[in-house]
Amino acid sequence: MAGPPAGIDPERHDVASGTVLQAEQGQIQIHTENIFPIIKKAVYSGHEVFLRELVSNGVDAISKRRMAAMAGDCSEGDEGRIQIRIDREAKTLTISDNGIGMSAEEVKRYINQVAFSSAEDFLEKYKREEEAIIGHFGLGFYSSFMVASQVELVTLSAREGSEAVRWSCDGSPNFSLEAAERSEPGTDVILHLMEEELEYIEPARLRTLITTYCDFMPVEVQLEGETVNKREAPWRKSARDLSDDDYIQLYRYFYPFQGDPLLWVHLNTDYPYTLQGILYFPKITGRADWEKGEIRLYCNQVFVSDSIKEVVPRYLLPLRGVIDSPDIPLNVSRSALQTDRRVRSIGGFVAKKVGDRLKELHRDEPARYAEIWEGIAPFIKIGAMEDEKFADQVAELILFGTTAAAAEPDPIAVGEKAYTTLSGYRSRLSSAEEQRILYCTDEAAQAGPLALWQGQGAEVLLADTLIDAQFIPWLEDRHGELKFQRVDAELDASIQEQDSSLSDADGTDSSEKLRELFRGALANEKVTIQVQALKGENTPAALILLPEQMRRLNDIGALMEQRLPGLPDHHVLVVNRRHPLVAGLQKLSSGAVLTGVGTSSPSQQLAEEISCHIYELARLAVGGLEPNQLAGFQQRSADLMGRLMEKGLG
């Protein structure tokens, strides 16, 4: 058990050398009997934290003895340690330390007077939770009454001439204080466990709690003579003293069977607050936790919480690792964080350090950065959209996959894929197209339009993650001069004029005849028919284009799992006059006109059916056929194939 809190001179309260303690009875100095139910049921959310509190007090006592001994105020002790002993027969749990201990006067002052205040004062502080921060001496000790029907404290001060005392309380305001036997300075806290709390007498349960809360405390924590905790906290060391393997081993210890991290960031500052830590970018294989997070919060190497959404920005919550700071304000039970200016400042510091580490890796190891880009991209993109300062930091760190061939220094090749920055992409555009950014969100679904643009030598960015549906409009807003155009978006007039190769250049009547054929076959005035001679290999027979804003509406709908059903009524069908199927259709249609004057000949009907089939293939490519329409499409396809075979065999 620790001695008096900082700022109090313990020498004024020591028992005079040689004084014999007279046994006495008394009442803990509070003015209501409601303090213990509040501690048991309201202050602490979980009973198991009693062990954390008692072990923490023991560590504090060891630290205070070390400092007092250096000043010559008390005797030096052996290496500090906490011992936990179980007595199954007596149903007791004893937590012992060899710290500074307490005299009788100190016990009366610091144990009997809860936090130096009356219960009414404490209750007021508890109601105003933002003021009830950790640091009120006595409350940690009283957490023992959550699991014990009676608590005994046997302590001997390390100061010369002190005598051992025994304090006992059954959870009421009544206590007893008497002389005791103890040969070495320190404190024993003996818990007489309640029947319903006997789980804390099981070694396996205690071992789990020590590993959870006390694993990195700087002194040995022994359970029945065996040291359980690791003691050494790597994040408290200098980054120069840690190898890559040290970082990876810590990650594996905290997050077993999760694979190795992509990247880590070492945090260390002592102004304007003290903070150490190590944060890791994990390999996310499932849905990331953007609400609670998996970063562990420690206070002086004591585990406090694994939910620190008040400390780090939301976009960094799925990171993993440790933040250790005594300056983060906690409520009295350490179970919740208080939000104040300092916490926001710490969050800004963490975000800046993450940004600095990313910039360092991008500058020094661009290939390595590109290799892990897919894993870190969600953090960076969401962070840029949510935090203007972070956006400025990472502006030149955002990569896109690109269809351009890799060449140093940009684009960067990673296997068969190449990556580029937005500024790198723009540097390769001609002056006529420097404001237009072509992008693709699904190489398979948009294969036709993608091939069309690639056939003209255009470079296309790959924005194929869900978050890009929001990120592209954000980029457009940030770079007001740019226009992002998806490869399968409808071409506006200015683009068609600049890229004449996309248009039907010869102006012959054959294109108009094809246009009329499709208009008649579809009989739908809401579908605009364009006939073009599309360049490039593997271009489809036809493709459907939508206005860019309509594309984005669908993308946002998909992100919210509310994709708009089917195609909008108004859309553009581009028929590729160079495709063999369309060329054959054109011959079939021309023959039908010559032989079917004034009538609907079989050839004319077949041409119209093929036109409808080409249109349905284009709809299928963009998800424009509803599930209940697929069966009809399959039946019509089979019938059409049969008729074509009959015509060919005939």
Residue 439 has phi, psi (to 5 degrees) of -145, 160
Whether the CB-CB separation of 164 and 182 falls below 8 Å is answered with yes
- Comparing C-alpha atoms, which of 355, 255, 359 is closest to residue 306? 255
d(CA 627, CA 606): 26
d(CA 368, CA 361): 8
pLDDT in tens, 444-461: 878 778 877 887 788 999
User: What are the residue ranges of CATH 3.30.230.80 in the chain?
Assistant: 234-363
pLDDT bucket at 203, cuts 50 / 70 / 90? very high
Residue 582 has phi, psi (to 5 degrees) of -70, -35
What single-letter amino acid sits at 548?
Answer: E
Examine the pLDDT at 127 and tell me if it is beyond 50.
Answer: no
Whether the CB-CB separation of 265 and 248 falls below 8 Å is answered with no
d(CA 306, CA 462): 36
Residue 305 has phi, psi (to 5 degrees) of -160, 155
508 or 340, higher pLDDT:
340
Examine the pLDDT at 180 and tell me if it is beyond 50.
Answer: yes
Whether the CB-CB separation of 1 and 58 falls below 8 Å is answered with yes
283 or 565, higher pLDDT:
283
Q: At what angle do helices 602-621 and 509-522 cross, to 10 degrees?
A: 80
Q: What is the largest CA-CA distance in the chain?
A: 130
d(CA 640, CA 9): 98
Place of tokens 């100190």: 106
d(CA 650, CA 642): 12
Beta strands in 384-537 (DSSP E): 399-402, 412-414, 417-421, 436-440, 461-462, 483-486, 527-532
Residue 303's DSSP bridge partners are 298
Whether the CB-CB separation of 2 and 99 falls below 8 Å is answered with yes
d(CA 567, CA 516): 22
d(CA 519, CA 530): 10
The two tokens of residue 488 are 């399968």
3-state secondary structure of 178: strand
pLDDT bucket at 31, cuts 50 / 70 / 90? very low
User: What are the residue ranges of CATH 1.20.120.790 in the chain?
Assistant: 504-537+569-650
Residue 60 confidence (pLDDT): 87
Residue 23 confidence (pLDDT): 79
Examine the pLDDT at 32 and tell me if it is beyond 50.
Answer: no
Residue 468 has phi, psi (to 5 degrees) of -65, -20
Of the options 3.40.640.10, 3.40.50.720, 3.40.50.360, 3.30.230.80, the CATH number for the domain spanning 234-363: 3.30.230.80
Residue 167 confidence (pLDDT): 95
d(CA 164, CA 104): 8
- Comparing C-alpha atoms, which of 394, 566, 535 is closest to residue 475? 394
The DSSP 8-state label assigned to residue 416 in this structure reads T
Q: Which fold is adopted by the domain 10-227? A: Heat Shock Protein 90 (3.30.565)
Examine the pLDDT at 17 and tell me if it is beyond 60.
Answer: no
pLDDT bucket at 187, cuts 50 / 70 / 90? very high
User: What are the residue ranges of CATH 3.30.565.10 in the chain?
Assistant: 10-227
pTM, full prediction:
0.77
Mean pLDDT for the chain?
A: 80
Of 210-224, 254-268, 380-394, 598-612, the range with the lowest mean pLDDT is 598-612
Residue 96 confidence (pLDDT): 97
- Comparing C-alpha atoms, which of 333, 300, 296, 301 is closest to residue 311? 296
Q: At what angle do helices 580-595 and 602-621 cross, to 10 degrees?
A: 150
* Residues of the chain above pLDDT 70, percent: 77
The DSSP 8-state label assigned to residue 401 in this structure reads E
398 or 619, higher pLDDT:
398
Examine the pLDDT at 117 and tell me if it is beyond 70.
Answer: no
Of 112-121, 185-194, 363-372, 475-484, the range with the lowest mean pLDDT is 112-121
pLDDT in tens, 474-533: 998 998 888 888 888 765 433 333 333 444 444 456 788 888 889 988 989 888 888 887
The DSSP 8-state label assigned to residue 17 in this structure reads T
pLDDT bucket at 98, cuts 50 / 70 / 90? very high
Residue 136 confidence (pLDDT): 39
Does the 504-537+569-650 domain belong in CATH 3.40.140.10?
no
134 or 359, higher pLDDT:
359
Q: Between β-strands 220-223 and 186-193, what pairing exists: parallel, antiparallel or unpaired?
A: unpaired
Compute the average pLDDT of residues 341-368. 91
Compute the average pLDDT of residues 66-81. 88
Residue 89 confidence (pLDDT): 95
Handedness of CA 230, 231, 236, 240 (dihedral sign): negative
Q: Between β-strands 294-299 and 320-324, what pairing exists: parallel, antiparallel or unpaired?
A: parallel
